[in-house]
Amino acid sequence: MMRKLIPGIIALVLCTQAAAVDVTRHPIPNSKFPISAAVEVPAGSTLVFLSGVVPTAIDAKAAKDSVAAYGDTKAQTVSVLKSIQAQLAGMHLKMGDIVKMQVFLAGDPAKGGKMDFPGFMEGYTQFFGTPDQPLLPSRSAMQVASLANPGFLVEIEVTAVRP
């Protein structure tokens, strides 16, 4: 019985991988803002949903529940995107395979409790909209009341499509 299933499964996987090549990214009209207005993923493509990723500590001496342990919004964004990049690489995917991103930004105490969107963008644009990686995901960014650790200012979850 398993022998009959395996060829069908292999064929399904091969079809799914081939279909993902046809992802269409629609730019925001008359804008250079580094996100896509929309991304079309063809039916049958394999989608990979990554759980929210938070920053890693950059200062081992700082209290684990402090912003000082993880850095400002830019540093945390770079940390999170590097972790996502590594996780994707472990699944044979790249940052350009990301089609959807949701960004959760906590208010920065150093910014009067407001999210640091410019700091986020400074980190984000190191990974997206560059000559080496021009493919842009659709994206939402929002300020949240807090994240799981009071020191976290950034959490990002992504959806990628397997080429």
Q: What is the per-residue pLDDT for 21? A: 63
Contact 103, 154 (CB under 8 A): yes
Rounded CA separation 56/71 (Å) = 9
Indicate the number of domains in the chain.
Answer: 1
pLDDT tens digits, one per residue of 40-86: 999 999 999 999 999 999 999 999 999 999 999 999 999 999 999 99
Please report how many Cα atoms fall inside a 13 Å half-sphere around the Cα of residue 124, on the Cβ side. 25
Contact 74, 67 (CB under 8 A): no
The pTM score is 0.86
Q: What is the CATH number of the domain that holds 61?
A: 3.30.1330.40
Q: Which domain holds residue 8?
A: 2-161
pLDDT tens digits, one per residue of 94-137: 999 999 999 999 999 999 999 999 999 999 999 999 999 999 99
154 closest CA partner among 119, 129, 127, 125: 119
